[in-house]
Amino acid sequence: MMRFIHTADIHLGHPFLGLQNVPEKLATLIANATTTSFSKMIDLAIAEKIDFICISGDLFDSQNQSIHLLDFLITQFNRLAAENIMVYLSYGNHDYQPQQNAGVSWPSNVREFDNSVKTYYQSLPDGKTVAITGFSYGQQHVKTEVINQFPLKQTQRCDFQIGMYHGGIDGANGNYAPFKVSELLTKGYDYWALGHIHQRQILNEVPFVGYVGSLQGQNSKETGAKGFYLVEEENGKLVPYFEETTSILWRTALVKLPQTVTQRELLNNLYTNLVTNNQHSWQIINIELDMTLTDTLLLRLNDGTTTLQLNEILQQNNQYLWINNISYVHEEQGARLPELDEQFWLATAKKVFNFENIHQVALKKIPELFIAEYFEQEAVQTKLKKQALELMQQELADVGSDMDEDNTD
């Protein structure tokens, strides 16, 4: 019975963006998160005695790999070689290889795909033969529909055929080997191991066509459990089963609390809610807070004081939780000051909160690339707009309050 692993979008060496002042024990875990998850997968592959692993693109986070990561991978692949487990490796838009890893000597059990569609064959212990067909990116953008180059299932040479494809469905972004599910199905393959999308998605049940997602979430958008598919042959079909490898879980938590007057009450209520609902080891959490806040509490929330104090309490109590951000989502927010014209605000914010302005004002003399990339994110710019609006509303409300007091004389 054939068994193999489908994985993709591992992004070894990818830094977690947007985190500040994390405790040392979490910082160490973050630095090793992607390699830890990869090692977990290799451990299971050996324990389950699988036949091979399909890596469908973006094993690395960039085309320039460090010696440390290459040494790590060679060690892991050698562990598989000792157990006669093959590795089929394709490169995606992040780790594209114009010269196909010149100078890197992988162990003998690793089969690389080059920039043209190629098929490898493997004989299985039960006498069956499996064909694995795929390709690699030779440049960052591949605008052609590479699926057109894939052959039909070669039934005369194999019992099963697996397609490895790193690309975007239905031309959602034409830069990444666009394809349609119907085009995949016409090939007659038994399984399509897709890569490029970091969230698990099933596009077709039988034969299975789907994205496995990443091994480890790497930012606040990549929430929930991450891992790989362990695929098993069952009654002539190839059926995937999800296996989790997450070492650090990113989570968004909507927290609804009763009205609170003091900062201590707010912190205690948040702490109790988070600890009660913690069912994982380390979590990095973005809190969406739904409650009525006083002006003072809202100010402390917006300037980061509440996040800082809550993290201090969590660490003092040895909780495996880190709060990345707290945002205010109460319905009544924004209705506090009808005098601030919404259309005027939206038009102005669009001009002010764009990356060009942010660069000129704040980032021009900062050389670190990861900082600039963080502020390029649409979610970050939206957060800046939201916090600016809340602060303006609060300031204007205070002015209105002062005017009311003046009029009482």
For residues 57 and 80, state if they share a domain: yes
- Parent domain of 295: 248-333
Per-position DSSP letters for 268-330, written without gaps between them: HHHHHHHHHT--SSEEEEEEEEES---HHHHHHHHTTHHHHHHHHHHHHTT-SEEEEEEEE--
Q: Are residues 291 and 373 in the same domain?
A: no
Average pLDDT, the chain: 85
Is there a single domain that holds both residue 40 and residue 126? yes
Residue 246 has pLDDT above 90, yes or no: yes
- Please count the structural domains in the chain: 3
Question: Where does a domain end: 244, 261, 280?
Answer: 244
pLDDT at 345 > cutoff 60: no
Please give the pLDDT value at position 183.
96
Last residue of a domain, one of 306, 333, 360: 333
Per-residue model confidence as pLDDT tens digits over 354-375: 656 665 555 544 545 455 555 6
- On whether both 107 and 35 belong to a single domain, the answer is yes
407 within domain boundaries: no
Q: What is the C-alpha R_g of the chain?
A: 25
Q: Assign 400 a pLDDT band (cuts: 50, 70, 90).
A: very low
Instruction: Among 333, 354, 386, give the residue marking a domain's end.
Output: 333
> What is the token pair recorded at 198?
């970091």
Kindly tell me if the per-residue pLDDT of 292 is higher than 80. yes
Q: Please state, in angstroms and rounded to a whole number, the distance separating the CA atoms of residues 409 and 403.
A: 11
pLDDT, residue 99, reads: 62
